[in-house]
Structure 1
Amino acid sequence: MPRKPIISLILSTYNSLEWLKKTLWSYEHQIFREFEIIIADDGSGNETIDFIKEYTSQSDRVIKHVWHEDDGFQKSKILNKAILACAADYVVMSDGDCIAREDFLQIHYERREPGYFLSGGYYKLPLELSQLITKEDILTQRCFDLDWLHSKGLPESFKNKKLSSGFVEASVMEAITPTNASWNGHNSSGWLKDIIKVNGFDERMQYGGQDRELGERLYNIKIKSKQIRYSAVCLHLDHSRGYKNEETLKKNKAIRKATRKEKRQFTPHGINKEVS
């Protein structure tokens, strides 16, 4: 019988095969090894389905492909299905367009603590650099090296600290950053029992804040958060967002406002729809 994983890693994707490949390559050589991968697929086509099937057959890691029919942007729904597929007690969530540094899961593992969730960030690459990065660049980790990135056209920025901070500097930056330690879908983690307790994601919500709203319900059941945005590093590959619209953003904003105002701990529109 396979050993129970310590971490269930959920990666969301939708018809972004080239970015998904790069993301999966980044998990081939993680320092932390006791994890499974659950691909939360919001209705990708046959090209992605066939690739995942082949990749799973060749990988020595447990990979679960959780898929549903394409019905527009329904990320909250597919993430709830992926949560139910988790075999580990601890869940790390990221996206299928985020390349993880080799210590990404190790940081989540070391910093996890009962009564807390972890809040990470990402370093967003321009489109040209996102396309340029190869499998070898990922496996050798040079895509995280600032000198290499600068040589490929990355401009100077204070945000580069996310890539250059050592352990001590990262700890200081996380202590002084004004950024709220919210649940961020591209880089956050928490205990499965806590996520289940608040009933996962609110499936009424589409693009724009559905991850933050989950974190707000976790706060309401007295789960605290810890900042790891300078320690757990991932590169976000650029892409268009055709699913973003003002109507959805307005609806989501209203749901989040109600969650905060009423201190909601549970959504009846989540994993279990038979309980209110």
Structure 2
Amino acid sequence: MKLSVIITTYNSEEWLRKVLIGFSIQTFDDFEIIIADDGSANKTKAVINEFSSVFKYPIQHVWQEDDGFRKSEILNKAILNAKTKYLLFTDGDCIPRNDFVAVHYKYKQKGYFLSGGYFKLPLAISNAITTADIVNQNCFSIFWLNKNGLKLNFKISKLTKSIYFAKFMNWITPTKRSWNGHNSSAYKNDILAVNGFNHEMKYGGMDRELGERMFNNGMLSKQIRYSAICLHLDHSRGYSTPEVWEKNNAIRNFNKKNKIIKIENGIDKIDS
């Protein structure tokens, strides 16, 4: 297999089902899926079992006990379980367009990580998306989204399927080429070189902190914001607090100022 897709989830089985449907119809199928599960109940396992024979390779379900927000740790466990050299990271609330994996595989390059984004949907439309809408790609249609209540604005241009427009927008967008947990990819060895995700960090900037240490290690990044498209399904974030953000920002500022590459509490602390 050519690539490993790592999908994070936590007790969001309906959203995860829609995401897995999206990955089941990819134009490029030579990949494995690893579900990085931060302590979900049995309903999530049942959803994964529904897709046990859908993909070319068996789904890996990497689970840890629910002990608060420990996304960094479950991601590091998933990385260690990956069977390929190239890893694509996304979340269990992001439906991929059918060329999502193909785009990441096409643009991968030694010495770079790829930085993608998402198109955020309101809750009503998130709920309205059916299996058929994903399979026939209606949910990526500007017309369909507008018909279902989405107000049109410039951001919707992200859903264009024009290769030339996407390349142009990737070039001119002022958005930083940061590591975004919902849509980024890199070689496994480049992630291991910085000791993976930081266990000291909870929700809020932990993904970007990984990318910042990769920059400190001499890596560059490529913008694929308008090429690798996924739809973000709406949900609440009860795990986000001002105190956690303050701590996370302090860690990021320290690491950037001091050019930190390898953190102390990272992937090498995972039990093999």
How well do the aligned residues superpose, as a CA RMSD in angstroms? 1.1
Correspondence for 1:89: 85
The aligned residue for residue 179 of structure 2 is: 183
Q: TM-score, normalised by structure 1?
A: 0.96
Say whether residues 1:56 and 2:52 are aligned partners.
yes
> What are the equivalent positions in structure 2 for 1:139-178 lying under 5 Å apart?
139-164=135-160, 166-178=162-174
How many residue pairs match? The answer is 270
Q: CA deviation at 1:165?
A: 5.0
CA distance in 2, matches of 1:58, 1:89: 23
Give 1:33 shift: 1.0
Q: Percent identity among equivalent residues?
A: 54
Partner SS for 1:250: helix
Normalising to structure 2: TM-score of the pair?
0.97
* 1:52 Cα deviation from its structure 2 partner: 1.7
Amino acid of the residue matched to residue 223 of structure 2?
Answer: Q
Q: Which residue of 1 aligns with 2:10?
A: 14
Whether 2:246 is the aligned partner of 1:250: answer yes
Instruction: Encode CA deviations 1:203-248: one digit per residue, 9 max, x unaligned.
Output: 1100000000000010011110000000000000000001000111
Deviation at 1:60, TM superposition (A): 4.0
2: CA distance, partners of 1:58 / 1:35: 12
Question: Which residue in 2 is equivalent to 1:40?
Answer: 36
2:112, 2:222 within 8 Å by CA — same for their partners in 1? yes
For residues 157-214 of structure 1, what are the alpha-carbon distances to aligned partners after superposition, in whole Å with 9 as ceiling and x for unaligned? 1100100251111111111111100000000000000001101000110000000000
Task: Select between 57-66 and 91-100 the one with higher mean Cα deviation.
Answer: 57-66
CA change 1:58–1:91 in 2 (3 A) is closer
Alignment of 1:88-167 (within 5 A): 88-164=84-160, 166-167=162-163
Alpha-carbon distance in structure 2 between the residues aligned to 1:222 and 1:31: 33
How far has the Cα of 1:48 moved from its partner?
A: 1.1
Contact 2:24 2:54 in 1 (8 A): no
Name the CA distance, whole Å, in 2 between partners of 1:85 and 1:273: 15
More off after superposition, 59-68 vs 253-262: 59-68
**SS of 2:175 mapped into structure 1:** coil
- Name which of 206, 230, 235 aligns with 2:231: 235
1:88 partner letter:
T
- Cα distance in 1 for partners of 2:11, 2:54 equals 21
Match for residue 68 of structure 1? 64
Find the counterpart in structure 1 of residue 204 from structure 2: 208
Q: CA 1:120–1:58 in structure 2 vs 1: closer, same or farther (change >3 Å)?
A: closer
* CA distance in structure 2 between the partners assigned to 1:268 and 1:53 by the alignment: 36
How far apart are residue 273 of structure 1 and its match? 3.1
